[in-house]
């Protein structure tokens, strides 16, 4: 697939077949993440690949979080995004969850976060290229400390996650702002 096709075809997928994805294919996708550019070439990412029960445990932490925080968040007039529970259910459905951790070095916070964005988008595009679906996930940050502890990676910070699997849906392209409305020339 040409790059432009993958860019245009990629969608956030929220319904997956339960069919497993081979280690070889996952390594191919992870390798495309690894090849992304990074600020100062720091390559601040670390991947942990979860399947089956341990993946579902992470999703359950997110669901528990929405339950436990309802009251205290209400008092603070804050709202846990309703998407957290929905995203947790997508995580359960998809056969694979890639966790993307960031090196805990706040001197490089902005650069490292930008670099991780490039890395994850490379993986999303490669997944599209291979006929797979992906969902880039931020909603996991509410339980980032618990997940890091569960996996013995308190030295790292969970930045985001990526569900991968065979898509069970074909969403239309979501709306985008017109180019003319988001640029100016001098």
Q: Which candidate, 127, 9, 144, places its Cα nearest to that of 84?
A: 144
E strand segments, the chain: 45-50, 96-103, 133-137, 156-165
CB 15 to ligand FMN: min, Å:
11
CB closer to ligand FMN out of 129 and 139: 139
Q: Under the criterion CB under 6 A, does residue 83 sit at the interface with ligand FMN?
A: yes
Stretch that binds ligand FMN, among 7-15, 37-45, 50-58, 61-69 (CB under 6 A): 7-15
- Alpha-carbon distance values, 46 to 27, 43, 121, 150, 158 (Å): 13, 9, 15, 16, 9
CA gap 160, 140 in Å, rounded? 6
Q: Which candidate, 150, 134, 62, 52, places its Cα nearest to that of 101?
A: 150
Q: Contact letters (x/-) for ligand FMN, 157-176, by CB under 6 A? A: ---x----------x--x--
Give the total of residues touching ligand FMN (CB under 6 A). Answer: 13
Q: Under the criterion CB under 6 A, does residue 144 sit at the interface with ligand FMN?
A: no
Q: Under the criterion CB under 6 A, does residue 142 sit at the interface with ligand FMN?
A: no
Q: Under the criterion CB under 6 A, does residue 138 sit at the interface with ligand FMN?
A: yes
Among 66, 87, 128, 159, binds ligand FMN (CB under 6 A): 87
Stretch that binds ligand FMN, among 1-9, 30-38, 129-137, 145-153 (CB under 6 A): 129-137
Q: Under the criterion CB under 6 A, does residue 136 sit at the interface with ligand FMN?
A: yes
Q: Scan residues 10-29 and list those touching ligand FMN (CB under 6 A).
A: 11-12, 14
Do 162 and 14 contact (CB within 8 A), yes or no? Answer: no
Do 125 and 35 contact (CB within 8 A), yes or no? Answer: no
Q: Pairing relation of β-strands 133-137 and 96-103? A: unpaired
Give the residues lining the site for ligand FMN (CB under 6 A).
Answer: 11-12, 14, 83, 87, 135-139, 160, 171, 174
């Amino acid at each position: 697939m040409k790059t432009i096709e993958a860019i245009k075809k990629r969608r956030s997928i929220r319904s997956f077949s339960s069919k497993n994805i081979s280690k070889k294919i996952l390594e191919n996708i992870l390798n495309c993440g690894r090849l992304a550019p990074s600020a100062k070439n720091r390559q601040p990412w670390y991947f942990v690949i979860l399947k089956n029960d341990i993946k579902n445990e992470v999703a359950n932490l997110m669901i528990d979080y929405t339950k436990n925080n309802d009251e205290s968040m209400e008092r603070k007039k804050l709202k846990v995004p309703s998407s957290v529970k929905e995203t947790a259910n997508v995580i359960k459905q998809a056969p694979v969850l890639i966790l993307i951790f960031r090196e805990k070095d706040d001197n490089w916070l902005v650069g490292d976060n930008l670099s991780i964005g490039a890395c994850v988008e490379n993986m999303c595009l490669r997944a599209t290229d291979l006929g797979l679906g992906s969902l880039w996930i931020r909603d996991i940050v509410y339980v980032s400390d618990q997940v890091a502890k569960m996996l013995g990676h308190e030295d790292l910070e969970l930045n985001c996650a990526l569900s991968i699997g065979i898509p069970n849906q074909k969403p239309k392209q979501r709306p985008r702002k017109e180019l003319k409305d988001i640029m100016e020339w001098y």
